[in-house]
Amino acid sequence: MSSNILQLNQVSKNYRIGAANLSVLRDISFDIEEGATVAIVGPSGSGKTTLLGLCAGLDHCSEGTIVLNGISLHELNEDQLAQVRNAHVGFVFQNFQLLPTLTALENVLVPMELRGMKNMKKKAMDLLDKVGLSARMDHYPSQLSGGEQQRVSLARAFANSPKILFADEPTGNLDAETGLLVENLLFQLNEELGTTLVIVTHDMELAAKTQRIIPIRGGAII
């Protein structure tokens, strides 16, 4: 059995805009081993976010195949893709994307509830403890700093015990010191839980800390 958690074979993504066909990704192939840490790097507009979204099942590719944890994403409809995301994937965004009307604890509970998991308060509290936010669990996002919000979003990303975590510029909105704290947490959780990490970044210092760099430019791997 393959130990690859993610396999892309000749993946392309096109957007149709009016009469024009915009090619955003072309002929992307790579495998990622379970437990690995990987950075996807490239200039702005090179297709990194689009690629991450395809890998995480947020969107369909136009051509090629994507197999995540043994599941062929390209064969699934939207509902099935959503199920795969809930069951197998964690996601961290540059702008945190916490729900503003829910407390830190409630935000972490959301993915658990989506999975139909009951009585998860203790696990959610443990996750907030892991990211150093026990004292802030009843705070709303607006009452937290950017770094704290990103730590809540990390705890939320791990709520469904994902095998793979996708992070899109996770430190992009944070100052250097806070960014380092969030980075260290990501690598710590990778080590402790064996979660595969795929990070989109243009920060080469962060990329250099991963085991492997996938450089993309103009929608293709270089």
Q: Taking CB under 6 A as the criterion, which residues in 28-47 touch ligand ADP?
A: 42, 44-47
Nearest approach in angstroms of CB 169 to ligand ADP is 8
Residue 24 contacts ligand ADP per CB under 6 A? yes
Distance of CA 205 to the CA centre of its chain: 19
Nearest approach in angstroms of CB 187 to ligand ADP is 22
Q: Kindly give the residue spans of alpha helices, DSSP state H, lying in 9-145.
A: 48-55, 78-88, 104-114, 121-130
User: Which region among 16-24, 99-107, 124-132, 174-182 touches ligand ADP (by CB under 6 A)?
Assistant: 16-24
Using CB atoms within 10 A of its CB, is residue 84 exposed (0-12), middle (13-18) or buried (19+)? middle
Beta-carbon neighbour count of residue 48 at 10 Å?
24
How far apart are alpha carbons 127 and 37 in whole angstroms? Answer: 21
How many residues bind ligand ADP (CB under 6 A)? The answer is: 12
Whether residue 43 contacts residue 49, with contact meaning beta carbons closer than 8 Å, is answered with no
Counting every residue written for the chain, the total comes to 222
Residue 196 contacts ligand ADP per CB under 6 A? no
Residue 201 contacts ligand ADP per CB under 6 A? no
Among 5, 8, 32, 49, binds ligand ADP (CB under 6 A): 49
User: Which region among 15-23, 69-77, 105-113, 132-140 touches ligand ADP (by CB under 6 A)?
Assistant: 15-23
How far apart are alpha carbons 59 and 80 in whole angstroms? Answer: 12
The token pair that represents 57 in the structure block? 């099942």
The token pair that represents 123 in the structure block? 């696990």
Residue 15 contacts ligand ADP per CB under 6 A? yes
Residue 22 contacts ligand ADP per CB under 6 A? yes
Q: State which residue, 125 or 221, has the beta carbon closest to ligand ADP.
A: 221
The token pair that represents 165 in the structure block? 């975590």
Q: Taking CB under 6 A as the criterion, which residues in 57-116 touch ligand ADP?
A: none
CB-facing half-sphere around the CA of 86: CA atoms within 13 A = 15
The token pair that represents 213 in the structure block? 């760099």
Among 26, 28, 50, 166, binds ligand ADP (CB under 6 A): 50
Nearest approach in angstroms of CB 171 to ligand ADP is 15
Nearest approach in angstroms of CB 95 to ligand ADP is 13
Q: State which residue, 127 or 216, has the beta carbon closest to ligand ADP.
A: 216
List contacts with ligand ADP (CB under 6 A). 15, 17, 22, 24, 42, 44-50
